[in-house]
Structure 1
């Protein structure tokens, strides 16, 4: 695993901007599509890092097109834990529901519950701080005042923000796995075994 390739590949798109837009989107489809894009990017980054080849998927005219579900399966074969693979597949299934089925316009409670159950089972074996149960997503206004706060126990109308919360924990764990799997000397940029993302929207 080459952690530098993983981080460089991920950071070649604006992750903080996409997370902010996913959090502030006023429709479920917008949130799900942006988070799915980030999931797919991390899956590609994992594959590139494991193969030690940042150009594995090509670009522009020589872009290698592979179905996302196949990429997730490939990343699983390259070491992503099975529960994380299952969670990524749930994100992919949700994206397909919202993008291709006009009868589905909202993030269903069942998808949130499926992600929650899978990640809770995983984090029992691999504790993370803060725990899934204590994690929350907060939205602040321009003055820095908290205008909305959501946990996984909030009412079902907040499923967009619950999905952001679940994605953030999934991303945190993938970054931990990358750090733990890295082979070779650490560069100055990647000298720690945990990464965190802080987003301020003004």
Structure 2
């Protein structure tokens, strides 16, 4: 990766080495350096997936019912895929779906502005949301931005900040987002928490 400008010089190499191992692997994949990939051992799910399990359960109870985004004919823009025999694989598929779905410029999961994520906005009570769900739904977060479930989902989305991985996984109907800009950043930026 020494031929990539973001890694030229000692300061940039130190910044890369300061990243968490999972972030280092993401960066290596992003820049196409697969040299060390065979030596990478994944011993357990990364934190982002451990935190996603309760988020997925919440979405399954609130959004992925047979009447909405679950069942045999799910409402657009996404269909919740669940396979009882392969729960881990289902979880990864659900993650990819949520991460990839866009509605115009809006995303179900907005990594850059987590509080603007549609899975948060659509679940707020009327009057508290900046974007309304296209159909009539019961609020997923009845206490608004102070709802424990809202905070759980927001915390999970906060974990998805840069760098955005390019994983090369094909999922029919859900194209992988375009590659991010070439800036490698470990900075989290301003808090995504809404003002209270």
TM-score over 0.5 for the pair:
no
**Higher helix proportion:** 1
Higher relative contact order (CA 8 A, sep 6+): 1
- What range describes the TM-score normalised by the shorter chain of this pair? under 0.3
Name the TM-score, length of structure 2 as normaliser: 0.26
Name the TM-score, length of structure 1 as normaliser: 0.25
